[in-house]
Amino acid sequence: SAVISQKPSRDICQRGTSLTIQCQVDSQVTMMFWYRQQPGQSLTLIATANQGSEATYESGFVIDKFPISRPNLTFSTLTVSNMSPEDSSIYLCSVPVGAGRDTQYFGPGTRLTVL
Amino acid sequence: QQPVQSPQAVILREGEDAVINCSSSKALYSVHWYRQKHGEAPVFLMILLKGGEQKGHEKISASFNEKKQQSSLYLTASQLSYSGTYFCGTVGTGANNLFFGTGTRLTVIP
């Protein structure tokens, strides 16, 4: 398994501002994933963050709204830009672990409320 | 692309059994099962790879039928600690990304 931490654990933000969420892993991983979980909903993949290259975004998510950085193999950030109340969600990072890198483990999540 | 789970919700008494189904419209390489308790991150339960295998331990097991693009999670002799929302996650053939199902809320009552 992997130990994954996220900061902040929760935040309350004003409409129009931006928040940067950090994800730290205790081991080097090639890929990191960012998910959003809206209240009462399933998890939706936002993007895949690879070290040394641009993040790959899923349909419905764009870099201007959710810029991602991946400066090294143990760290990534996700910024939620120009926030609106619809961005209120839990944001989670995950990493593939195990011999075949098939299993994904999740960080504790960042609970974001936008007023 | 999102896998569909059934049922959406189920209530069990302690000791009863449950089956949660996950169905995809795409060819699958693997199916993952997670349990999420309220306010917490999803916790990995097991992964099933292409090959029709069945996996698990004593009371929680799963099967994967790659031809039908379906997986089922079996919970036997349920305990109060089994309560939570169960998600399947699927990885398509030739892909890396995990897509989560619609979720099944399981409540176990005394």
**Band of residue B78 on the pLDDT scale cut at 50, 70, 90:** very high
Q: What is the pLDDT of residue A12?
A: 97
Q: What is the pLDDT of residue B74?
A: 95
B97 interfaces chain A, CB cutoff of 8 Å: yes
Taking a C-beta distance cutoff of 8 angstroms, is the pair A107, A94 a contact?
yes
Q: What is the pLDDT of residue A51?
A: 84
Distance in angstroms (rounded) separating the CA atoms of residues B81 and B26: 33
**Band of residue B66 on the pLDDT scale cut at 50, 70, 90:** confident
**Hey, are the CB atoms on A106 and B99 less than 8 Å from each other?**
no
**Band of residue A41 on the pLDDT scale cut at 50, 70, 90:** very high
List of chain A residues whose C-beta atoms are within 8 Å of the C-beta of residue B97: 33, 45, 48, 58
Q: Are strands A103-106 and A89-97 parallel, antiparallel or unpaired?
A: antiparallel
Inform me whether the pLDDT recorded for B54 exceeds 70: no
Taking a C-beta distance cutoff of 8 angstroms, is the pair B72, B19 a contact?
yes
User: Which three-class secondary structure state does DSSP give residue A56?
Assistant: strand
- Each residue of A86-100: pLDDT tens digit? 999 999 999 988 666
Distance in angstroms (rounded) separating the CA atoms of residues B50 and B36: 24
- Each residue of A60-88: pLDDT tens digit? 999 999 999 999 999 999 999 999 999 99
B87 interfaces chain A, CB cutoff of 8 Å: yes
Residue with tokens 């950085």: A69
DSSP notation for B78-103:
--GGG-EEEEEEEEETT----EE---
**Hey, are the CB atoms on A106 and B49 less than 8 Å from each other?**
no
Inform me whether the pLDDT recorded for B57 exceeds 70: no
Closest to A42 (Cβ–Cβ): which among B30, B32, B87?
Answer: B87
For B30, residues 6+ apart whose C-beta sits below 8 A from its C-beta are A102, B47, B48, B49, B50, B64, B90, B91
**Band of residue B35 on the pLDDT scale cut at 50, 70, 90:** very high
List of chain A residues whose C-beta atoms are within 8 Å of the C-beta of residue B100: 35, 42-45
Q: What is the pLDDT of residue A100?
A: 62
* Average pLDDT value for residue range B2-19: 96
| Mean pLDDT, chain A, integer | 93
> Structure tokens of B82?
């089994």
Instruction: Provide, rounded to the nearest whole percent, the portion of chain A with pLDDT above 90.
Output: 83
| Mean pLDDT, chain B, integer | 90
Name the minimum distance, in Å, from the CA of B101 to any CA of chain A.
7
* Average pLDDT value for residue range B65-94: 92
